[in-house]
A and B are shown apart, each in its own frame.
Chain A
Amino acid sequence: MSRRRKVAIWLLVLGALHGVVLCAGFFAPYDPVEQDRKSPYLPPMRLHFVDMRGQFHLRPFVYVLQLRPASFDQYVEDTTRPRPLKFFTFGDRYRLLGFLPSRLHFFGAGDERIYLLGTDAFGRDQLSRLLFGGQVSLLAGLLGAGFTLLIGWCIGAAAGYYGGWRDDLLMRVAELFLALPWLYLLFAIRAFLPLTVNPLQAFFLIVAVIAAVGWARPARLVRGIVLSAKERDFVRAARGFGASHLYLLRRHILPETSSVLLTQAAILIPQYVLAEMTLSFLGLGVPEPVPSWGNLLSNLQQYSVLVSYWWMYLPALIMVPFFLGYLGLASALQERAEAYKIQRRSFGSLA
């Protein structure tokens, strides 16, 4: 398979995954903050296609859950009350992509509540919270990675191009940032910022903090590329035509950094999403009631929850397909960069 096709496929996969999260309002049946105090810690409702009489239905359905007699948190399916799934139904109001008001949902069960991934202590639908939480976590990761790469790019390019004492100074500072284990640095920065903030501020705070932590490694990589590109003959030739520094950077040197930046992006984004999850899990990130993948897991710190309600663990695994997608993308990009390098090297040796 051609390398370009590989990259395209992974991009498609990631695009689909992100797309579902982007349209969380559509795919999620309910509002993530809506509580249902009558149904705390409901286990996930199983989808059935064959009913009690052995008849196959094309439309999947679930059974309403009832409390087992003489128990306060054990549920059984009430097989006398099947509830079919309805697709493309109208339900709670939401804003698609943040601004289009809509009431159309991918699926629902009419007036009945359907919980495909169970509920939490407040009876909130975990599936909806998972989808909306993804918006927060993924956005934090994407924005954070974007800013880090921007900062690292600028600093690395400056260090590599100007060289001399500027290069030494910038790289020493980068070493400082690299000398700290990243989670400790993240904590330290977060420590020195206000603890009680509203969810929106908390979000931007996290993004800023995450972005401030990781610029050093991309900066070093970009610096290396700029340093070697600067000495390439075609760059020197352009200088010979009277090119200004800005022109050289813009037209010749910085385009060389594009492949490294893309690969770094594919590597950093999942790490940053994970960083947000870690912060929120520990209570230093996005606060309740706004869902994020991290704070969906935070009540798992109570062992009783961890043991009794297994579906609360699921958000921990939601990163796996995303990680997989980004890993595949990063590998495919690295392969392409290697191949291009080899191609260029052999181009140079032809006489």
Chain B
Amino acid sequence: MMRYLLRRLAHAFLLVIGVSILAFLFTTLAPGNYFDEMRLNPQIAPETLVALRTQYQLNRPLPVRYASWVNSVLHGEMGFSFAYNTSVAPLLLLRAKNTLILTVTATLLAWAIALPLGVWSAERLGQFPDRLISWSTAALLVVPDLALALGLLVLALRTGWFPTGGMASVDFESLSSLNKIRDLALHMALPVATLVLSALPLLVRHVRAAVADVLDAPFLLAAEGHGIPRRTLLFRYALPAANPLVSLFGFSIGALLSGSLLVEVVMSWPGLGPFLLEAILARDIYVVIGGVLFSTIFLVAGNFLADMLLYWVDPRIRSASTPG
């Protein structure tokens, strides 16, 4: 068990390193840098610009910059933000926490809805409830996330039931603990709803397909013959056997992360999304690299979790990886 775990961990680690190199490589494609804006300003002397560039090491060759960046990462700084004039890591960590809150909630909620819906659908394959769900998911699938996000925003603006942006009300600090949670939930409602609605159709479809496949299996029939109650049968026997689902879990994390980028910008949720956008527009390279890296780490971590889950659930992998 440990060997498998370590192997997957090493794999994940190498992946993150590879991504960081890839991100760095892209900087060579970039004409222009942070100081181009300043160059247009006649009041700043060109020598100042050169000095600034040297100070920020923008004129060193790529491997050197990469090495010093890695060094900076090991020191917990992750490079330097030109716009904010401080190291990147603390800025990103705060934003990353907010994005995590959103994404994890959305993932859990989406799966919590998709699993029962999918199983229910698979049980009644071809009948009316199944058809209804299929049609609804198809309808949801064809609406772009952008339209969903904007639409929900209009809803909030028109009805005033939900706050229309941000993560906390102005008087957040003065609220009681219970009210703080309520406030957070209200602010999270719209972004989470958008993410869940956009992820739901594909998840439900895949769960339905996977479970439908498994429901035919003889071992389930045998278990039923043993008198095992229906619900236990479905969730403890059928579901784990539906293998593709765990890899779908990893895939859904990636999709939700990408989705959260857009949703955060539209709904002004202070996560990695708007921060990254700002950095791109300002050419703040190290922030961009850091942000991309963070999102990769989340995704890789999510996939790692999915791998561990798969290992725990699927005895075939367990026996295949143990020596003997």
Contacts and interface: CB of A to CB of B under 8 A. Distances in A.
Q: State whether these chains interact.
A: yes
Contacts of B266: 301
A110 interface: no
A13 interface: no
By secondary structure, the B interface counts as: helix
Contact of B154 (A172, A283, A307, A327): A307
Contacts of A317: 143, 147
A100 interface: no
B280 A284 contact: yes
Contacts of B299: 179-181
B292 A323 contact: no
Nearest to A176: B18
Given A187-B280, A316-B150, A324 B142 contact: yes
A176 B17 CA distance: 10
A260 interface: no
Interface stretch (A22-30, A189-197, A222-230, A241-249): A189-197
B146 A181 contact: no
Contacts of B157: 303, 306-307
Interface in B249-272: 254-255, 257-259, 261-262, 265-266
B150 A192 contact: no
Interface in A162-185: 172, 175-176, 178-185
B289 to A, nearest CB: 8
B234 to A, nearest CB: 26
Interface of B: 15, 18-19, 22-23, 26-27, 29-32, 138, 141-147, 150-151, 153-154, 157-158, 164, 254-255, 257-259, 261-262, 265-266, 276-277, 279-281, 283, 285, 288-289, 291-292, 295-296, 299-300, 303
A187 to B, nearest CB: 6
Interface stretch (A80-88, A114-122, A232-240, A273-281): A273-281
A303 B158 CA distance: 11
A320 interface: yes
7 contacts: A179-B296, A180-B295, A194-B30, A195-B281, A282-B262, A307-B158, A323-B143
A118 B266 CA distance: 23
A300 interface: yes
A306 B299 CA distance: 33
Give the 8 A-B CB pairs with smallest separation, nearest first. A183-B258, A316-B147, A192-B30, A323-B142, A181-B257, A191-B280, A181-B258, A192-B26
Contacts of B30: 191-194
Contacts of B158: 307
B180 to A, nearest CB: 25
A282 B265 contact: yes
Given A184-B292, A306-B153, A327-B138, A274 B144 contact: yes
